[in-house]
A = this chain, B = another copy of it.
C-alpha cells in the first residue's frame, strides 16, 4: 500500500501505534510523558535541570540516496545525528519530534521501516518519540528535534570553553563513516566484514551519550561532535573559544580496516570526512587521563590548544613538519571543489 492510499491521518495513526507499543516504562522520559503523538503538541512534566534542544535535517539526494540507504538505516541515522548533538553538550536526550515529508507514492512499509530504525535507537537511549508532522513533498526529508537535559550538576560542554594548554582528544576512531560513504559512492568492493563495518559506521553511528556525560562529570568543558569533519569541527571550537589548535595527524586514531581498504586516503577521510559522530574535546592532561581510564571506548590525545593564531587549526606530522590537507570538511552551499563531499 502507498502512503497516498492510507492517507495522512491513517499514516499518523499507524506510526503513533508503533511508537506507543515501543514505550519503555522504565525510561524517565516515558514516565514523565503526559501527551504523546496525537494532540496539537506533546506535553510532559518539566524539571529544574538545564534544558537542551537541537534539530537536524536529512534530505534525499543531499544527505542520503535511497539507492544506497535502507529506510531503517535512515531512521536510525536521522535520530542519531541529533542524539549526538545532545551528547556533545554532555546531556541526556529525552524527547524527539519527527517532521517527515515524502512523496505520496512511497510504500507505507518504507515509512514503518524508517520508524523501526528510529525506535530501535530511541529505546537504547530512553528517548520518547512524542510528536511530529507528516507532509507530502516531491522528495524525502526527515527533520528531527531532540530535547534533553544536563545532569543534576548542570555541567555543559560548549564550543567556547577551550583554553590554551589543554589537550585535544577524541573518542573512538575517525574516518570510518567517510570510508563507508566512499565505498558506497565509488562502488568499492571489500571483504564482507569490512563492508559491514564501513556501512554501519556511515548509516548507524552510535551517539556517544554515556561518554558525553562522563566527560562533563570529569570536568571537561569544551566539546563538539564530529559531523562536518575533525578539522572543520575543531575549527568551530577554536573560533568560538578564540584559541588555535595544533593536531598531530599521525596520532589521529584510524581503524586498521579503513587503512587497509582506503590506503593513503584513510588519513584524509579521518581529518576531513566527517559523520563519525565521535566526540572531540579539550581538557587538561589530568582530566583526559581520567576520561581514558573511565570511558568504555578509546580516548586518544591528538593535539593541543595553543594561545596564538585564534581560530586556526594547524596540522603537523610526528616529526613536527606541516601537513597539508587537500579538503577541509563539509559545508552546505560550498562549491564541490572546496569540500570533502559533494
Contact = CB atoms under 8 A, between A and B. Distances in A.
A101 interface: yes
Chain A contact patch, size range? 35 or more
Nearest to A3: B333
A141 interface: yes
Interface string A120-160: 00000000001111111111010101011110000010111
A43 interface: yes
Contact of A97 (B55, B91, B104): B55
A53 interface: yes
A118 to B, nearest CB: 14
A337 to B, nearest CB: 13
A279 to B, nearest CB: 10
Given A135-B59, A158-B35, A53 B42 contact: yes
A43 B51 contact: yes
Q: Which 5 A-B pairs have the closest CB atoms?
A: A41-B54, A8-B332, A40-B88, A145-B145, A40-B85
Contacts of A6: 333
A12 B92 CA distance: 26
A98 B88 CA distance: 20
Interface of A: 3-4, 6-9, 11, 34-35, 38-57, 59, 61-63, 85-86, 88-89, 91, 95, 97-99, 101, 104, 130-139, 141, 143, 145, 147-150, 156, 158-160, 224-225, 240, 331-335
A138 B139 contact: yes
Given A4-B334, A11-B333, 19 more contacts: A8-B331, A35-B156, A38-B159, A40-B54, A40-B88, A40-B159, A41-B85, A41-B89, A42-B54, A46-B47, A51-B51, A53-B130, A53-B145, A55-B143, A56-B99, A63-B135, A134-B332, A135-B332, A141-B141
A4 to B, nearest CB: 4
Contacts of A139: 137-139
Contacts of A159: 38-40
Contacts of A41: 52-54, 85-86, 88-89, 91, 148
| Most-contacted residue by chain B among A6, A149, A225, A331 (CB, 10 A) | A331
A55 B147 CA distance: 12
Contacts of A224: 40
Contact of A145 (B55, B62, B101): B55
A31 B141 CA distance: 34
B99 A136 contact: no
Contact of A44 (B35, B42, B50, B61): B50
A8 B334 contact: yes
Given A86-B41, A333-B104, A99 B11 contact: no
Contacts of A49: 46
Contact of A52 (B38, B43, B138, B332): B43
Nearest to A330: B8
A88 B43 CA distance: 12
